[in-house]
Structure 1
Amino acid sequence: MKNVFRMLLALLLPILLVGCSGEEDTIYVDFSKRKEVLLPVQKDAITYAYLPQYSHAVSYGRHHLLIEYLGRATGMTFRQVFPDTFDEHVKMVQRGEIDISFSNPMIYVRLARSGARAFARVIEPSGRPSFRGQVICRDDNRFIRTLDDCRGARWIAVDHSSAGGYLFPLGMFVENGITQDDFRRIDFAPGPGGKQEKVVLAVYAGAYDIGSIREGTLDILKDKIDISQIRVVKSTRSYPGWVYAARRNMPKEQVARIAEAMFALDLNSPDGAVILNAAGIRGIIPASDGDYAPVRKLMSDLGLDAPGAGGLPQ
């Protein structure tokens, strides 16, 4: 056996040595002849974000036609971005990562502390430039008929900073002598985005006795659940509606062009109707920081007016 191995090695060794000793032809590279390759540069875009009260899919579906229209009308490039949480939305505006913020009035007041300024607000499906919060329960809940019946209930709300989904209803409870301590528990919808839907689904499933949402949310879920099984216990008073704000130091001429395009949208024109109906609004009108004085008063009444306050003290 050893002799066979030696014979094979003797036959293969010359082949291996030849393979190892072979030299490849030298390739000459002339570095004096060069061509510079330029990578495509992405055009600067105006970033636009919808506060994530609904899922990212809903946010995109409601606003992508509006964003495409703004691009055509202004000649500028727009890009929709999708923060996962209310707090992330605020921080992105503060860092200059969101140019145009579409948010509830409570979040706007927080943004204004960092230099953002309102320039437009929407006309709600109700036909008013204002909206309300709603306290809901299952329709078959025989124990909750009035606001006072909510004492001792398990309450699920949208977010600490949600206007219609928490703070408007909380203000209504407080006005009626019902404090946070009067509830068995107060929880907030988990996870990123889609929190309004999660509140409705949690009440629908019986996991909570009551929930708080902004008006209009039930219509969004009418194809997913039997909304006749949900009853509105009471709606809050109206507050100034959702607002468009430009980040600090955004060029005024850009804001003016965007505002002009927004105000030109008309529900009575075919193209305008498609865009506005998709967004769930009836129009966009001018706004100023002073329009949100009632919201600041509510925040003060709830102890939320301290600079940098982001949520209700627990």
Structure 2
Amino acid sequence: MKKINVSLCFLLCWIFISPANCIAGDKYKLSMLPRYYPKKIKEMIVPLAEYLSKEIGATITAVLTKDFTEYENQLKNGEIEIGFENPLVYTKVSQKHEVLAMAIQEKGGNQFRGIIITRPDSNIQLFSDLRHKKIIIVGKTSAGGFLSQKLSLAKNGILVEKDCDIEEAANNKQENVIISVSIGDADAGFIRESALHIADQYIQPGSVVVMTPCEWLPNWAISVNRAMPGPVKAAIKSAILALDKNSPVLKAMHIAGFKSAVDSEYDIIRNIL
């Protein structure tokens, strides 16, 4: 009888401390670096939150932040446990967050890049033409809307923060960069390549052209708070990597999938800063 009772105790303990039971009932917040307007960000991350909730058994809630600074601070202070951010912001929060997976694009794979845009009637054709010009950027913590272009300019002998007149876009939005260039408020703009047509409904057709693509960077990171229980991290990673390329979750995020990633893959960004 004692053997049966001991076995029963072990069985009950295993049931109640198993990963599935550790996760059930847990609540976490998920967000994305707000490079687009709130409506667009919500459309991109709500399907992911719902998918993860269903797959791992926890309640995952999609939340929005007003700008890059608020997003970064909320990852650092633990308010947001699951994030999707560019490589530059990831390196800034990596003491508190760890990467689980890296986004994959149809074009560029696990890399992405920024572009420089101008008006078609602009005389800006070469990197050297940007010297002393007014340039609107997404923000200094934007990888596709600043860092990629900064690297290309540096390779061509231009220190963008010293040699150009830089202005950050309102609310760090890619759309606002495009609109500003379109109406002539800036000589040139820095945006992510995939964001080129995000503001088409707000500008005159043909009022913006691509001057040049810029340096490739490691892609966006899915990261989680380092204090999150191991079984939860493993469950989230497994669910994300299991997404099929035709999944509505991936289509909403405008990516082809995710690959497993480790922190050292972002050292190239740290070495630049």
What TM-score, normalized by structure 2, do the two folds share?
A: 0.86
Answer yes or no: is 1:166 the counterpart of 2:146.
Answer: yes
Give a deviation string over 1:171-218, Cα, whole Å, max 9, x none.
2111211123322x210012x36x111001100111000000111111
Q: Give the superposition deviation at 1:248.
A: 2.5
Gaps of 5+ in 1: 1-42, 300-314
Answer yes or no: is 1:64 the counterpart of 2:55.
Answer: no
Q: Distance in 1 between matches of 2:205 and 2:54?
A: 38
Answer yes or no: is 1:181 the counterpart of 2:162.
Answer: yes
**Among candidates 43, 66, 84, match of residue 84 of structure 1:** 66
Answer yes or no: is 1:236 the counterpart of 2:190.
Answer: no
Asked if the contact 1:48/1:99 (under 8 Å) is kept, the reply is yes
Asked if the contact 2:104/2:256 (under 8 Å) is kept, the reply is yes
Q: Give the superposition deviation at 1:227.
A: 5.2
Give a deviation string over 1:81-115, Cα, whole Å, max 9, x none.
11112121111111110101110000000111x23
Alignment correspondent of 1:135 = 116
Asked if the contact 2:250/2:257 (under 8 Å) is kept, the reply is yes
Asked if the contact 2:135/2:167 (under 8 Å) is kept, the reply is yes
Alignment correspondent of 1:210 = 188
Alignment correspondent of 2:256 = 282
Alignment correspondent of 1:13 = none
Alignment correspondent of 2:17 = none
**Among candidates 273, 293, 297, match of residue 271 of structure 2:** 297
Asked if the contact 1:147/1:233 (under 8 Å) is kept, the reply is no
**One-letter identity of the residue aligned with 1:202:** S
Q: Number of aligned residue pairs: give it.
A: 248
Q: Distance in 2 between matches of 1:210 and 1:54?
A: 19
Asked if the contact 2:179/2:199 (under 8 Å) is kept, the reply is no
Q: Distance in 1 between matches of 2:68 and 2:201?
A: 26
Q: Give the superposition deviation at 1:63.
A: 1.7
What is the percentage of aligned positions where both structures have the same residue?
33
Larger gyration radius, structure 1 or structure 2: 1
Which structure shows the higher helix fraction?
2
Alignment of structure 1 residues 1-314 onto 2, 5 Å? 44-112=26-94, 114-141=95-122, 143-179=123-159, 180-183=161-164, 185-190=165-170, 192=171, 195-226=173-204, 228-268=206-246, 272=247, 274-299=248-273
Q: Distance in 2 between matches of 1:243 and 1:226?
A: 34
**What is the root-mean-square deviation of aligned Cα atoms in Å?**
1.5
Q: Distance in 1 between matches of 2:199 and 2:27?
A: 33
Gaps of 5+ in 2: 1-24
